[in-house]
Chains A and B, each alone.
Chain A
């Protein structure tokens, strides 16, 4: 398996405030990723690794609100942002 590069993910609400305790999961992709779900910290951030490829991430708030976003894997300093409605 191609080595995954660590990436920062941030979940925000509709007003741009960080969402703590959101669930972040890679739900599909062009390379294998483990079936683990991350929890965002107080800053709304989580850290995950994405190998090179294209992936769909889902963020779900504790109250069930969901959002998905596409992300390109591999090394990058760009933070992946998921904004809940």
Chain B
């Protein structure tokens, strides 16, 4: 059983406890939160989201040549405009500042003050020469509209396997907020599910791509999970640069709570050719990753001390 640790950006240093898995249950989930009642249900959520499992993948049309790799065939992404409603308002546009310049990505709330994203959005030897200096987050952003304002974060963490070796299977990072934005917008549930349970689910991926809307508009696509490996989830879902860190989530039968099972990070170049698949992928939330995320949430939002009797 692997052990996973968090490494956090120094000043201030915040190191998560290593997850020691002994008798690991096969299935772990959190409850998530939809946040305060919005008064209406997102039409996009009603009409577009993939729920439950599917016997077959959603049929795609394929253009002849010239298609972008991570947009697989014809671009089936749909713009989401009611980003002030769940689940969309839990997703944030990110602008990362590094010594050499800036980059854009996507993050999402997993707790009142905890945002999950790709590891390379917080730490990258390639893009930032190390840790990002700061990240500006805008939850529920829609173009120039910022329904919940914006915040700047400098406290960052990532898995040790990402920081030390930039292992794509552990390309997972965390942004710690000073303000409990999740109490306003809600947060995703997260789940470490067994292979058999994950297979055949329709998976939803939504984030802020650079090719449409200049990283300021939220785009969405869904399809059936194509393959699950020990540490990755592969899917035929259109994405583009800027959607790094986007939530990859499912809806178990009968549930309306978005359950994130991966963190979108790679285009089709990250899918082994031996699979015979054209697919994008996420590092998967496995039990060790689940425990690490839980430790980040606890670090940001400690449980209240029990009252003395």
Binding site for B on A (CB under 8 A): 1, 3-4, 6, 23, 25-41, 45-49, 56, 58, 60, 62, 66
Inter-chain contacts of A60 with B (CB < 8 A): 210-211
Output the least CB separation between A10 and chain B (Å): 12
Query: Given that A26-B241, A30-B269, A33-B269 are contacting pairs, would A38 and B211 also be in contact in the complex, using a CB cutoff of 8 Å?
Result: no
Contact B244 A35 (CB under 8 A): yes
Output the least CB separation between A41 and chain B (Å): 5
Inter-chain contacts of B244 with A (CB < 8 A): 34-37
A66-B267 Cα distance, complex, nearest whole Å: 20
A37-B210 Cα distance, complex, nearest whole Å: 6
Contact B269 A23 (CB under 8 A): no
Q: CB within 8 A of A37: which of B167, B168, B209?
A: B209
A3-B164 Cα distance, complex, nearest whole Å: 12
Residue B304 at the chain A interface, CB threshold 8 Å? no
Output the least CB separation between B146 and chain A (Å): 18
Q: Which residues in chain B, 14-54, are within 8 Å of chain A measured between CB atoms?
A: none
Contact B102 A38 (CB under 8 A): yes
Contact B168 A32 (CB under 8 A): yes
Q: Which residues in chain B, 156-172, are within 8 Å of chain A measured between CB atoms?
A: 166-168, 171
Contact A45 B101 (CB under 8 A): yes
Contact A36 B104 (CB under 8 A): yes
A15-B225 Cα distance, complex, nearest whole Å: 46
Contact A36 B118 (CB under 8 A): yes
Output the least CB separation between B131 and chain A (Å): 15
Interface of B is mostly: loop
Could you say which of B167, B265, B270 has the most chain A C-beta atoms within 10 Å of its C-beta? B270
Identity of the chain B residue whose Cβ is nearest the Cβ of A38 in the assembled complex: B103
Inter-chain contacts of A27 with B (CB < 8 A): 68-70, 240-241, 267
A28-B248 Cα distance, complex, nearest whole Å: 21
Residue B3 at the chain A interface, CB threshold 8 Å? no
Known: A6-B129, A45-B100. 18 other contacts (CB 8 A): A1-B167, A4-B125, A23-B210, A25-B211, A29-B69, A34-B168, A35-B118, A35-B265, A36-B121, A36-B241, A39-B102, A41-B100, A41-B102, A45-B101, A46-B100, A48-B126, A49-B124, A58-B211
A36-B95 Cα distance, complex, nearest whole Å: 11
Could you say which of B95, B127, B266 has the most chain A C-beta atoms within 10 Å of its C-beta? B127
Contact B105 A36 (CB under 8 A): yes
Residue B107 at the chain A interface, CB threshold 8 Å? no
Contact B101 A47 (CB under 8 A): yes
Output the least CB separation between A77 and chain B (Å): 16
Residue B243 at the chain A interface, CB threshold 8 Å? yes
Contact A49 B125 (CB under 8 A): yes
Output the least CB separation between B203 and chain A (Å): 16
Output the least CB separation between B68 and chain A (Å): 5
Q: CB within 8 A of B168: which of A1, A41, A45, A48?
A: A1
Contact A34 B101 (CB under 8 A): no
Inter-chain contacts of B269 with A (CB < 8 A): 28-33
Q: CB within 8 A of A36: which of B100, B120, B129, B211?
A: B120
Contact A37 B215 (CB under 8 A): yes
Contact A46 B101 (CB under 8 A): yes
Identity of the chain A residue whose Cβ is nearest the Cβ of B208 in the assembled complex: A37
Q: CB within 8 A of B241: which of A3, A25, A30?
A: A25
Output the least CB separation between A74 and chain B (Å): 13
